[in-house]
Chain A
Amino acid sequence: MEFTRSLSIAASGLRAQAGRMRVISENIANADSTADRPGADPYRRKVASFERRLDREMGADLVQLGRVKRDEGAFKTRLDPGHPAADAKGEVKLPNVNSTIEMMDMREAQRSYEANLNVVGATRRMLARTLDILRV
């Protein structure tokens, strides 16, 4: 039935956005995770992407979280000679996480999640209207 497909497509969107939210929360939680020895790299920011998945049984194009990639951007550095991860010049490499960007991403994920929820609600109301025909 078409409505079941609509619901499963919207559910796949919800799942994908929730996965993206997980990646974003990993980034924010690790915004200060440095290495524990000199020369080693700190936490590298992760980027989520979406891809299409054809559900042959349902006959519907679903969305799923694709492979989570690493942001290859440069690390920030801070002068802190006492830090265990400080190099010869006394500089410590910090993660390339920008909290403003993460907040923006989070808002976007939230907005898309709400949109998918609205579609689920609308589809459910349409289904209820169909059942109302029986009550004539």
Chain B
Amino acid sequence: MNKTHDHFRVPLSDTYRRKSPFDLLVEHMGKIRECIDLLTGEMIQYYKGDYKGFSELARKVSAFEHEADIIKGNIRNHLPHSLLMPVDKGKFLWALREQDAILDHAENLVQMLDMRHTKIPKELQGLFIEHMMLVAQTVKTMEDAVENIKDLVESGFIKKEREETKGFIHKVHEAEYKADKKKYDMTKKIYQIEKKLMPMDEYHLLKIADWVDDIADHAENVADWLRSMIAR
């Protein structure tokens, strides 16, 4: 033990955490939002055929992923069995895990796109950009939901705040649903013009739609875990 000794007898001070796990969850969320914001802009450039600086993006996303991993580890390693939290610890950790999966998928996406620069055909560009915006929107609403958990804790889990959080969670579902629909539109369109596409290009376009949509899926999963976390 490298704990410093003050020579006090203070059982009280052992009961507290320096930082609340909820604060850390919001901090982790902050990294994700920052990363997805950056990603959205660069992806639109990519869709438009501008690959300049994309390798740089891949490096930045990896850095974000690493930073978020450190926060995640910090949360997970400091939730011993003896810790009493106002919510189910298991569900809290699942929310965290899903939140972290968002960056894993973002990292995968940029790595893959960086390996093969696929040109997005003119007729698909609009749809792809709209889809990216909807996915970013899903993550944004998810951030509102995660941040509201702090208010919930602060107010001692009152009904009003719980309803508010539920409202945010509902919005996440809505945004994810729109992103899903857009993905099907994209897929349909890809099949419509498949005669014009090289097989490998078509494969990669379908994959891009999936990879980007994965981000929204995991944002929805976070919202689902939050919902079950705050249930009575």
Whether A and B are associated in the same complex: the answer reads no
